[in-house]
Amino acid sequence: MSAVPVAERNQDATIYVGGLDERVNESILWELFVQAGPVVNVHQPKDRVTINHQGYGFVEFLTEEDADYAIKIMNMIKLYGKPIRVNKASAHQKNLDVGANLFIGNLDPEVDEKLLYDTFSAFGVILQTPKIMRDPDSGNSKGYAFINFANFDGSDTALEAMNGQYLCNRPITVSYAFKKDSKGERHGSAAERLLAAQNPLSHSDKPHTLFADQPQFAPAPPVPPPVNPFPIASWLPYGALGGLPLPPGLPGLPPPPPPFAMQMPRPPLAPTPTGGAPFRPPPPPPPNRPPPPPPPMMQ
């Protein structure tokens, strides 16, 4: 687990792990991330004076697919009670704060950093772990937090969609945060947006789609109609289908017969072979005829 020079490290298969507790060491990181795939190297930069790590580290995997899988399943899990931030090491070096910072207010005490991340990462790339302001003594939430997006497209969408929505049965307020060392000026100004539009790094990342239904690729081709391997015409020699009439216009059906008015008149009844009159059914009984008497009782 010795440090590998950055030039020799496979950057595409290396992830950045931030927000680490002071008790986390390289052995713990190795044991944690080896569950996602084969680990090649683990490195935590340390302070030269205190010899303590600086709250982040790098984990190199054998393949890029293993690194991507580790990002999906390990990001924002809690280690010693603190959510860790996991992303590509190269992306971490490119991240730049453009001012797309949101203030989230009226938070329920049950809302934690992972819930905020899972909720707001659907609107765009979040650069850092959502920062919930907590009491230094008790560690309880003060009811508000800050989220830093990579661009204003994500922050604008989150502001429009989430302001006034319920999170843990409490409506939250979403607005742009106030700038530091400024008198009432908020982020999201026209000057910040102009600078962000000119910065190519703010357009390089893609929204977080881990919890989406499916990736936003090209629409799928239309599904062709099912092909009936047994045409209806092949059933006709065997009789009607359960006595149900067939709808007209189905492929394979013979043309429907002409209406009754257009059919040829029926020929008259022919005489019987014995030369007598044609057979006629007996007339129906009159409606007021009394019923026949019951049969006699047997003695």
pLDDT tens-digit map of 145-190 = 999 888 888 899 999 999 999 999 999 999 999 988 777 788 888 8
| Helical residues (DSSP H) of the chain, grouped into ranges | 26-33, 64-74, 89-94, 113-120, 152-162, 190-198
How many Å apart are CA 156 and CA 177, to the nearest integer? Answer: 13
Structure tokens at 35: 């569950």
Least confident stretch, 20-34, 139-153, 208-222: 208-222
pLDDT, one tens digit per residue, over 77-120 is 999 989 998 988 765 544 556 788 999 999 999 998 888 988 99
How many Å apart are CA 81 and CA 21, to the nearest integer? Answer: 8
Q: For the full predicted model, state whether its pTM sits above 0.75.
A: no
How many Cβ atoms are within 10 Å of 71's Cβ, its own excluded? 18
pLDDT band at 213 (very low <50, low <70, confident <90, very high): very low
Selection from 203, 36, 33 nearest residue 44 by Cα: 33
Question: Cα torsion at 116, 84, 153, 89 (round to 10°)?
Answer: -170
Higher-pLDDT residue of 217, 92: 92
pLDDT band at 217 (very low <50, low <70, confident <90, very high): very low
* Confidence check: pLDDT of 59 > 90: yes
Q: Which domains does the chain have, with CATH numbers?
A: 6-94 (3.30.70.330), 101-203 (3.30.70.330)
Structure tokens at 73: 């399943």
